[in-house]
């Protein structure tokens, strides 16, 4: 009798795993940044963060809006140079964790002109974390290179932005067919064993 119960238990587990492996849950993210502003002379950079829900798979998402104001004269522009840390807090299947990266923004700004670039300095470690059964990582380009996800702001005008690619890869699980075959095999072994015991 115990073998029969085991065989039915194995079959139920296998079917449950098959159902779980085909689920396609969505995730959400929110962004924080430190510091919120970077200044140079009379020029000021300010960051506004984004969030989103209902995402699946890999997505290039909005991370920051970047505003720039300045009253410096064109003949004597302000130098701007500062580091900032962008943190993505991701929730998936009821689990939450964070990934971050550090950037440098540098250049000059005046009341009519600006020239700014961002450089990716580092990613948080570990760079890949498992959240709710999915492996997540961030990508903003290679370390120590100009961040091509950066769009520069207009002085005293339109905000710039910094996008980020969230890479989401479902953690490896057994193929549904393989799980079903194992469960059926265990069930058959249990059935044969129980039948032999009855015949004996």
β-pair partners for 31: 88
How many whole angstroms separate alpha carbon 123 and alpha carbon 138?
8
User: Is residue 191 a part of any domain in this protein?
Assistant: no
Closest among 85, 83, 84, 91 to 30, alpha carbons compared: 91
Q: What is the per-residue pLDDT for 166?
A: 98
The pLDDT assigned to 25 comes to 72
Q: Is 18 inside any structural domain?
A: no
In the block, residue with structure tokens 């065989």: 7
Instruction: Kindly state the tokens that stand for 168.
Output: 């989401």
Q: Would 12 be classed as within a structural domain?
A: no
Q: Which of 89, 88, 92, 90 is nearest to 24 (CA)?
A: 92
Classify residue 40: in a domain, yes or no: yes
In a domain, 20, yes or no: no
Domain count, the chain: 1
Residue 128 lies in a domain: yes
- Please check whether residue 181 lies inside any domain of the structure: no
Domain, as residue range, for 138: 25-172
The whole-angstrom separation of Cα 171 and Cα 135 is 6
Q: Residue 4: inside a domain, yes or no? A: no
Residue pair 162/148 in contact (Cβ under 8 Å)? The answer is no
Residue-wise pLDDT tens for the chain (200 aa)?
554 444 444 444 444 444 444 345 799 999 999 999 999 999 999 999 999 999 999 999 999 999 999 999 999 999 999 999 999 999 999 999 999 999 999 999 999 999 999 999 999 999 999 999 999 999 999 999 999 999 999 999 999 999 999 999 997 655 555 545 544 554 544 544 555 556 55
């Amino acid at each position: 009798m115990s073998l029969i119960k085991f065989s039915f238990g194995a079959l139920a587990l296998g079917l449950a795993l098959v159902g779980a492996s085909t689920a396609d849950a969505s995730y959400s993210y929110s962004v924080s940044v430190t510091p919120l502003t970077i200044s140079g002379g009379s020029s000021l950079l300010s960051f506004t963060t984004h969030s989103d829900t209902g995402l699946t798979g890999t997505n290039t998402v909005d991370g920051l809006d970047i505003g720039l104001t300045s009253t410096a004269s064109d003949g004597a522009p302000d130098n701007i140079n500062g580091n900032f840390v962008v943190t993505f807090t991701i929730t998936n299947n009821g689990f939450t964790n964070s990934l971050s990266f550090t950037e440098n923004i540098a250049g000059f700004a005046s009341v009519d002109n600006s020239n700014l670039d961002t450089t990716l300095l580092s990613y948080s470690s570990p760079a890949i974390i498992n959240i709710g059964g999915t492996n997540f990582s961030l990508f903003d380009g290679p370390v120590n290179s100009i961040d091509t996800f950066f769009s520069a702001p207009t002085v005293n005008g339109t905000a710039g932005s910094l996008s980020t690619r969230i890479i989401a890869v479902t953690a490896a699980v057994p193929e549904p067919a393989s799980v079903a075959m194992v469960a059926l095999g265990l069930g058959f072994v249990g059935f044969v064993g129980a039948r032999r015991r009855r015949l004996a």
